[in-house]
Amino acid sequence: MSARDRALGAFAGLALGDALGMPTQSMSRAEITRRYGRIETLVDAVADQPIAPGMPAGSITDDTEQALLLARLLIDGDGRIDPLVFARALLDWEADMIRRGSADLLGPSTKRALDLLQSGADPAEAGRGGSTNGAAMRITPVAIATPPELDCLLDAVTEASLVTHNSSLGIAAAAAVAAAVSAGVDGASLPEALDHAEAAAAAGAGRGAWSAGGDIAARIRWARGWVSGLDSATLADAVYQVIGTSVAAQESVVAAIALAQALGERPADALTLAAGLGGDTDTVAAMCGAILGAQHGFAGLPAGPVGTVLTVNRLDLGPVVDGLLELRGRK
């Protein structure tokens, strides 16, 4: 399998997981079961869905849209991201979402940081309170554009995270996802890729402003050992009740990696289970999808649902991935 196949799989896996979790995001596990039953494929959002009311099956959310935004900035900037340009692009994205009547807007850490920037704060200071999963959810293009060599990858992740998530938790979380995806694009096995994620999270925790919360590398190490061998029902309980699926970086990122560890050979099962867990389902499934997409490649993802996502959202991922891989080749 070529690096391009794996990179395309990572971006498509991100979009697929995002779309699977779209109708269930911000709902409890019990409410998901009551309104949808078991999530087994792409479904329409119910009319009173709190974030995406009535959106058609296959629709993506902020996870994929912001990843595409970041990818274009990387390509246009020749691999560099100007923090003020990034901030303006995020604000323009939210304004467009508001015009479209969407409730899928900027997350709490990103919104707070951009408000500070508009008030004149230094870009390096604005994101110091960002400890949620916003940087991690959109980091896949950085992973595709950057080899898994740790220092190089951490520099790229930090630059992409600085304006909104310049904290130990925010950077560690983004570094974990980026390392797993980047290693996968290079052809690493799943255990090797998740080892890279753990090491990157440990190193990333030394970047940015210190933020209180469970150490992400330690939680990844514990979760990988705990969930291995669990059946699907027990796994769902473990992730939802103990690891957690909130927007907190030390919950959702660890949840995504735990699902990849437990169901790595069955990406469709991993992503549908993620979509039914409750909480920040679209982001957990998107991050898991990017990691497993890099492992299995585009052809290793379920063709029907992926085709639906690409069609519904008019996505042409090939040119984006090619541009990111060109940047990777230069590094």
CA distance linking residue 260 with residue 255, whole number of Å? 9
- Known binding residues for Mg(2+): 61-63, 280, 282-283
Helix axes 303-312, 3-21, angle to 10 degrees: 70
Rounded Cα distance between 328 and 121, Å, is 32
Phi, psi of 43 (to 5 degrees): -135, 155
* 324 strand-pairing partners: none
- For the annotated binding site, the residues are 61-63, 280, 282-283
